[in-house]
């Protein structure tokens, strides 16, 4: 009989844990998991919008050493070697075009981040709210990085093409006798620039999150003030 009672109690507790009402139960300082989830999503939406708007400005990537995208692999090595002889002009121009291509896709990246934030499910919302200054950003990246990379790659490829980056790359490779590597390096440039564009986004999203947590003036809504106040 006791075993039956124990099993019944376990079933009741399991059902309670799965109930949506649990999200409204106060967990810490009167803050519910539902409150924390809404606050995190709003903070990340605001942070990603501000970050991508900042990077979309002229020279948003190119003019900022913290997020400027370098040339990958052999292209970067060749650029540095030629720079010592003051002959890196074509590769320097390729790097600049690559950075401007990243700036041009930021409006599309903003929409991708908005959708990513909207669809994530946050089961450990309270821990994220009470966590480190960039804990929500790290959570977002961990849950969405692969999907965002896949979604950003096509517009990044178009932007690189439209910017003339690949034309510059072919010319530069001919000059240094590496034209046989054009196809492989084209793929590497696309993958690398997409990754680094997202690195730049997450860098400034984390910066925006820190500002929301530390500066009351950056908490522009009731839910942000309640969750991060």
The C-alpha atoms of residue 58 and residue 36 are separated, in whole angstroms, by: 36
The CA–CA distances, whole Å, from 183 to 105, 180, 187, 216 equal 23, 8, 7, 51
Kindly write down the DSSP assignment for every residue of 33-64, as one continuous string.
HHHHHHHHHHHHHHHHHHHHHHHHSTTTTTT-
For 174-208, the pLDDT digits (tens) are 877 767 777 788 999 999 999 999 999 999 999 99
* Contact call for residues 1 and 93 (beta carbons, < 8 A): no
Q: Share the mean pLDDT of the chain.
A: 86
* Contact call for residues 198 and 132 (beta carbons, < 8 A): no
Nearest partner of 100 among 193, 38, 202, judged by Cα = 193
The C-alpha atoms of residue 40 and residue 131 are separated, in whole angstroms, by: 12
| Residues above pLDDT 90, as percent of the chain | 68
Tokens read off for 40: 């995190």
The C-alpha atoms of residue 72 and residue 36 are separated, in whole angstroms, by: 40
Tokens read off for 53: 């708007």
pTM score > 0.75 for this model?
yes
For 116-148, the pLDDT digits (tens) are 999 888 888 988 998 999 999 999 999 999 999
The C-alpha atoms of residue 85 and residue 181 are separated, in whole angstroms, by: 23
Q: What pLDDT is attached to residue 29?
A: 59
The C-alpha atoms of residue 201 and residue 206 are separated, in whole angstroms, by: 9
For 15-57, the pLDDT digits (tens) are 334 344 444 444 455 688 899 999 999 999 999 999 999 999 9
């Amino acid at each position: 009989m006791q075993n039956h009672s124990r099993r019944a109690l376990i079933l009741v507790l399991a059902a309670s844990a799965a109930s949506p009402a649990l999200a409204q139960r106060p967990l810490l300082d009167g803050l519910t998991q539902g409150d924390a989830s809404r606050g995190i999503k709003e903070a990340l939406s605001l942070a990603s919008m501000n970050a991508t708007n900042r990077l979309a400005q002229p020279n948003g990537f190119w003019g900022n050493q913290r997020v400027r995208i370098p040339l990958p692999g052999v292209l970067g090595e060749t650029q540095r070697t030629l720079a010592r002889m003051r002959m890196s002009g074509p590769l320097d121009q390729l790097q600049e075009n690559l950075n401007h291509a990243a700036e041009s896709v930021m409006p599309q990246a903003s929409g991708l981040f908005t959708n990513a934030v909207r669809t994530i499910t946050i089961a450990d919302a309270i821990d994220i709210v009470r966590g480190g200054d960039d804990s929500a950003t790290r959570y977002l990246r961990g849950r969405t990085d692969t999907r965002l990379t896949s979604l950003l790659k096509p517009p990044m490829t178009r932007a690189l093409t439209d910017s003339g980056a690949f034309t510059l790359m072919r010319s530069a490779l001919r000059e240094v006798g590496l034209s046989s590597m054009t196809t492989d390096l084209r793929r590497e440039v696309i993958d690398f620039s997409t990754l680094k564009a997202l690195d730049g986004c997450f860098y400034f999203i984390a910066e925006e999150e820190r500002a929301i947590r530390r500066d009351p003036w950056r908490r522009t809504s009731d839910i942000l003030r309640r969750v991060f106040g």
